[in-house]
Structure 1
């Protein structure tokens, strides 16, 4: 038979497990909705800035000026 202390132990473990699982799910949702889109936007900006620095585009611009 489970004692009163045993019931408190089981209830406390269940409560702690609930908050542990909730924290993992919240972290996964934050990754999906915040961090991954921010990283993709940052990568897109870098690719655009790298594309602007290519020498072929500068040559085309020089030819258009003359």
Structure 2
């Protein structure tokens, strides 16, 4: 539903908004509306950082995950 946010999404959003690394055990994703004022390039970079962190979490938590 529009306007509903997941609590887990606050961690990566606040971390990257403050210039901090995302906690390695965070399962949340960025809240796009928070970064609307940034350039497309900056938005994509933040999404890349979040995606990389989530892929590392998957690799670390799933022994069957193939790198």
With structure 1 as the length reference, what TM-score do the two structures score? 0.36
The answer to which structure, 1 or 2, has the higher relative contact order (CA under 8 A, 6+ apart) is: 2
So what's the TM-score if we normalise by structure 2?
0.36
